[in-house]
């Protein structure tokens, strides 16, 4: 403990010494430039009068300020980079990011990401420190380097590590109200929120089903409703399963969506959806169309996308305490959801399911494995593991945030705050 404190103090000292050294170096460089600029005339005269000097030396003397700025600038930048490297090493030492031999990663370069100028890529020689170790120390690295990490990945055949980050001052907004300008023009793209990389979108043409996880109050319902509202505006027919007696879905939703408020209605609607799926399969095959967009384009029809949504899928599929009749019904529901999950993409039938229950058996593998777009809000390790197959949501989504989600590939975003009273 004492050593850690000492290390922290050392790192702090090193960092302030480095900053002071950088400042003094820059100051000296600028004073040198001013002195040379003031004496440039004298150097010019000396260059003209010196007969024995070569023309190259003479020309350097008459352009001394330029030479000084170029050569001196390169030296100063190189020295600053060394100072940066030393500071980073000291910081890593203080947080214990070392390999078995006690070696810390070395900063190789820092540069802007090509498509997102606010993102800086830090590249390190990692000296055999596995990516998992970097991930474990993510929060400590963020504090040490004063950054917000977007992602960490291997490069150069695992010899290097790349950290994509924004400065610590770049925080995601805690609330971003939905505005119609976020509605995508693209077919069939839904916008979820904003990450450090820009708008977070999902294209149902490519990724047909969405699974949303998160504990109570993490923002699942608002995210789900914002997606449903966008899909509705784009002409989709929406089916919503809500067994909570209409608390979650006020009247306005009942006017715009087909609501299933009990299990019989649920099975009826799911049967309808799978029947439509089968008939679309035949129609598409007959007209030689691979998917819904192609079919609509070729035939000139406007066949809508169908979306089945459920805010708490565990409620539909929970078999605990169920009698045999109910178990049979749940099995049928599972079966139909699995069919849509497997085959829905080409035929424009989609699932958007949410859950807060950290129960591994709630969503059967044949449904979950076909839900490629998964996001998780504030969650414990178990729920995060169920939704994303890793604990990143538990590790990276702060407990006090609402509407903050993370995707399987580690992209954190703030979902739009959608106010249904303005629907």
Can you tell me which of 402, 408, 411, 420 binds ligand ADP, judged by CB under 6 A? Answer: 402
Residue 348 touches ligand ADP, criterion: CB under 6 A:
no
Can you tell me which of 208, 348, 358, 415 binds ligand ADP, judged by CB under 6 A? Answer: 415
Q: Please identify, among the stretches 46-54, 157-165, 221-229, 339-347, the one whose residues bind Mg ion according to the rule CB under 5 A.
A: 221-229
Give min distance, CB of 422 to ligand ADP, in A: 14
Is the Cβ–Cβ distance between 91 and 144 less than 8 Å?
Answer: yes
| C-alpha span between 353 and 61 (Å, rounded) | 74
| Bridge partner residues of 165 (DSSP) | 120, 149
Give min distance, CB of 415 to ligand ADP, in A: 4
| C-alpha span between 201 and 173 (Å, rounded) | 17
Tokens of 155: 């490069």
Is the Cβ–Cβ distance between 277 and 339 less than 8 Å?
Answer: yes
| C-alpha span between 295 and 33 (Å, rounded) | 70
Residue nearest to Mg ion (CB): 221
Give min distance, CB of 220 to Mg ion, in A: 5
Can you tell me which of 126, 191, 218, 355 binds ligand ADP, judged by CB under 6 A? Answer: 218
Residue 217 touches ligand ADP, criterion: CB under 6 A:
yes
| Bridge partner residues of 406 (DSSP) | 376, 412
Q: Which does 222 bind (CB under 5 to 8 A by kind): ligand ADP, Mg ion, none?
A: ligand ADP
Residue 226 touches Mg ion, criterion: CB under 5 A:
no
- If the CB atoms of residues 339 and 414 are measured against Mg ion, the closer one turns out to be 414
- If the CB atoms of residues 234 and 357 are measured against ligand ADP, the closer one turns out to be 357
Contacts of 68 (CB under 8 A, 6+ apart): 32, 33, 36
Can you tell me which of 15, 104, 215, 221 binds Mg ion, judged by CB under 5 A? Answer: 221
Residue 42 touches ligand ADP, criterion: CB under 6 A:
no
| C-alpha span between 184 and 22 (Å, rounded) | 47
| C-alpha span between 276 and 278 (Å, rounded) | 5
Site residue total, ligand ADP (CB under 6 A): 14
Tokens of 55: 């023309």
Q: Please identify, among the stretches 76-84, 139-147, 220-228, 321-329, the one whose residues bind ligand ADP according to the rule CB under 6 A.
A: 220-228
Residue 219 touches ligand ADP, criterion: CB under 6 A:
yes
Can you tell me which of 403, 406, 407, 413 binds ligand ADP, judged by CB under 6 A? Answer: 403
- Residues of span 197-216 touching ligand ADP by CB under 6 A: 214, 216
- If the CB atoms of residues 224 and 277 are measured against Mg ion, the closer one turns out to be 224
Q: Please identify, among the stretches 37-45, 213-221, 330-338, 376-384, the one whose residues bind Mg ion according to the rule CB under 5 A.
A: 213-221
Give min distance, CB of 180 to ligand ADP, in A: 16
The pairing of strands 258-260 and 237-241 is parallel
Residue 221 touches ligand ADP, criterion: CB under 6 A:
yes
Residue 380 touches ligand ADP, criterion: CB under 6 A:
no
Residue nearest to ligand ADP (CB): 403
x/- site string to ligand ADP, residues 130 to 169, per CB under 6 A?
----------------------------------------
Give min distance, CB of 221 to Mg ion, in A: 3
With CA atoms as reference, report the closest residue to 85 among 34, 155, 134, 14: 14
- If the CB atoms of residues 219 and 348 are measured against ligand ADP, the closer one turns out to be 219
- If the CB atoms of residues 121 and 172 are measured against ligand ADP, the closer one turns out to be 172
| Residues forming the site for ligand ADP (CB under 6 A) | 175, 214, 216-222, 402-403, 415-417
Q: Can you give the binding site for Mg ion, defined by CB under 5 A? A: 221
């Amino acid at each position: 403990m004492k050593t850690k404190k000492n290390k922290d103090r050392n790192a702090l000292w090193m960092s302030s010494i480095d900053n002071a050294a950088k400042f003094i170096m820059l100051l000296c460089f600028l004073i040198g430039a001013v002195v040379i600029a003031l004496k440039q005339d004298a150097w010019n005269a000396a260059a003209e009068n010196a007969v024995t000097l070569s023309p190259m030396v003479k020309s350097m003397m008459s352009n001394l300020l330029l030479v000084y700025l170029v050569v001196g600038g390169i030296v100063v930048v190189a020295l600053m980079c060394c100072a940066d490297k030393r500071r980073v090493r000291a910081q890593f030492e203080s947080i214990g990011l070392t390999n078995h031999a006690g070696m810390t990663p070395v900063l190789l370069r820092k540069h802007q990401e090509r498509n997102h100028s606010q993102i800086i890529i830090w590249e390190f020689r990692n000296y055999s420190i596995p990516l998992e170790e970097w991930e474990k120390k993510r929060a400590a690295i963020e504090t040490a380097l004063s950054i917000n990490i977007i992602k960490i990945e291997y490069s150069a055949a695992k010899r290097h590590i790349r950290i994509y980050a924004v400065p610590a001052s770049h925080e995601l907004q805690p609330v971003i109200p939905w505005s119609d300008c976020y509605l995508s023009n693209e077919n069939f793209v839904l916008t979820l929120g904003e990450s450090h990389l820009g708008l977070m979108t999902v294209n149902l043409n490519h990724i047909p089903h969405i699974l949303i996880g998160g504990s109570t109050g993490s923002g699942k319902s608002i995210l789900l409703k914002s997606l449903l509202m966008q899909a509705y505006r784009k002409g989709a027919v929406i089916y919503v399963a809500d067994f909570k007696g209409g608390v979650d879905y006020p009247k306005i939703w009942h006017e715009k969506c087909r609501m299933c408020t009990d299990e019989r209605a649920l099975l009826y609607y799911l049967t309808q959806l799978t029947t439509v799926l089968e008939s679309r399969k035949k129609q598409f095959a007959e007209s030689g169309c691979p998917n819904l967009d192609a079919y609509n384009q070729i035939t000139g029809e406007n066949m809508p996308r169908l979306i089945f949504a459920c805010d708490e899928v565990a409620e539909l599929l929970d078999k605990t305490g169920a009698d045999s009749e109910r178990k049979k019904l749940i099995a049928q529901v599972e079966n139909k959801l699995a069919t849509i999950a497997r085959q829905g993409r080409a035929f424009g039938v989609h699932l958007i399911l949410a859950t807060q229950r950290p129960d591994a058996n709630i969503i059967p593998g044949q449904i979950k494995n076909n839900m490629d777009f998964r996001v998780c809000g504030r969650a414990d390790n178990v729920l995060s593991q169920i939704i994303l197959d890793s604990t990143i949501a538990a590790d990276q989504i702060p407990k006090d945030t609402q509407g903050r989600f993370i995707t399987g590939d580690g992209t954190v975003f703030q979902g739009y705050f959608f106010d249904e009273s303005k629907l």
